[in-house]
Amino acid sequence: MTDFLIINIVIPLVQIGVLLGILGLATGYIVLAERKVLAFIQSRLGPMRVGPHGLLQPIADSLKLILKEDLIPGSADKLLYIASPIVVVAAAFTTLALIPFGEGITLFGYHIPGVIADVNVGILLILGISGLTTYGIILGGWSSNSKYPLLGAMRAAAQMVSYEIALTFAVLTGLMLAGTLSMVGIVEAQRDMGVWFVFIQPIAWGIFTIAMVAETNRAPFDMAEAESELVGGFFTEYSGMRWALFFLGEYTAMLVMAAINVTLFWGGWLRPFPNVEALAFLDAVPSGIWFLLKVTTFLYFYIWIRGTFPRYRYDQLMALNWKSLIPLSILNLLVTGVVMLLLAG
């Protein structure tokens, strides 16, 4: 009985506690990393004053945002206005429960898995719950009862919904290779095949990467929050902690997408060359560290792209999706299917 309780309630609770604790802080530091990396690309230094090299900046920012006045515009729809940041953050944080951070460790005789919930339809759940962020954005734009947020929200919703199609087709191609929808199953399939999926499916990886940047409303696809054009886009009317919640949700979604990219195409928590015996000394590094390194590379990639490319105009954005990415991903799916059929039989 205690065994059952511990495995099914205590361990997940501990995992959730650790994850939420670390992730809250981590998202703040991703914001700092973005400011520093963008600054370095632009030949300047970024935050340097708060703490050594600006390391205490997120804490200063959080304190400031918490102490700000809580403003609800008079003509706003109160319930929706309050609910929309919560929807965005809740959707983003729920998907964190499905990501395998590592292989799992054994403590006190109990095996603590690297993922909080190893559902056998993991990827499907993640894509579904991430779609709920679109709801939050539409609610936010609509409830603000003002033109810029409304326009921003409509554009953002159309963009996110369209790029989800390209995203899903790219994911499908990876899944065909893995044969299972479970996140842990996908990583194990890569270990059994001995090669990361990105080397067999580079086109699918390329499409997924472009679609993931568009899905999370990041530059160069950030028309919805284009700071120079729509003031703040859908979160113009939000200030203080509510705005911080939107931001938190967006950066967590970024983290989740990077994690899916790593899990699906780059071997998750596997070390490089998982089946080569000569490199077995790399096994000494805990699997979580490999995962962290890979996800950090993708987060750097997100910021790098933001600092390099100009923003897509809205019609160019949609044309890219419907005229280039979706046909390419469907073609890729077809070709992969045909090749797999020919190789199997």
Partner 1 sequence: MSTIVSSAPKKTFLERFLLVDLLKGMWLTLKYTFRPKVTVQYPLERESVHPNYRGILRVDESTCIACYLCEKICPDKCIHLEGERGYTKGKGGKYATYFYIDHARCLFCGLCEEVCPVDSIYHSNEYEAAVYNRADAIHDLRILDSGHNIIHYER
- For residue 152, the SS3 value is helix
Question: Would you say 248 or 303 has its CB closer to partner 1?
Answer: 303
Closest separation between CB of residue 335 and partner 1, Å? Answer: 15
Closest separation between CB of residue 43 and partner 1, Å? Answer: 5
Residue 291 phi, psi dihedral angles, 5° rounding: -60, -45
Fill in the amino acid letter for 172.
L
Q: Report how far residue 217's alpha carbon sits from residue 257's, in angstroms, rounded to the nearest whole number.
A: 12
Q: Report how far residue 11's alpha carbon sits from residue 107's, in angstroms, rounded to the nearest whole number.
A: 10
Peptide bond into 272 cis (omega under 30): no
Question: Would you say 88 or 212 has its CB closer to partner 1?
Answer: 212
From the list 181, 75, 93, 77, the residue with the least C-alpha distance to 130 is 93
Peptide bond into 220 cis (omega under 30): yes
Q: Report how far residue 234's alpha carbon sits from residue 143's, in angstroms, rounded to the nearest whole number.
A: 10
Question: Would you say 6 or 328 has its CB closer to partner 1?
Answer: 328
Question: Would you say 199 or 309 has its CB closer to partner 1?
Answer: 309
- For residue 74, the SS3 value is coil
End-to-end CA distance of the chain: 49
Question: Would you say 105 or 319 has its CB closer to partner 1?
Answer: 319
Closest separation between CB of residue 161 and partner 1, Å? Answer: 25
Question: Would you say 165 or 305 has its CB closer to partner 1?
Answer: 305
Closest separation between CB of residue 120 and partner 1, Å? Answer: 36
Closest separation between CB of residue 39 and partner 1, Å? Answer: 8
b/e map of 233-255 (b: 16 or more CB within 10 Å)?
A: bbbbbbbeebbbbbbbbbbbbbb
Closest separation between CB of residue 233 and partner 1, Å? Answer: 25
Q: Report how far residue 292's alpha carbon sits from residue 299's, in angstroms, rounded to the nearest whole number.
A: 10
Closest separation between CB of residue 25 and partner 1, Å? Answer: 25
Closest separation between CB of residue 306 and partner 1, Å? Answer: 10
Question: Would you say 190 or 332 has its CB closer to partner 1?
Answer: 332
Contact residues for partner 1, defined by CB under 8 A: 37, 39-45, 48, 206, 304-305, 307-309
Question: Would you say 155 or 306 has its CB closer to partner 1?
Answer: 306
From the list 252, 244, 234, the residue with the least C-alpha distance to 65 is 244
**344 pairs with which residues across the strands?**
none
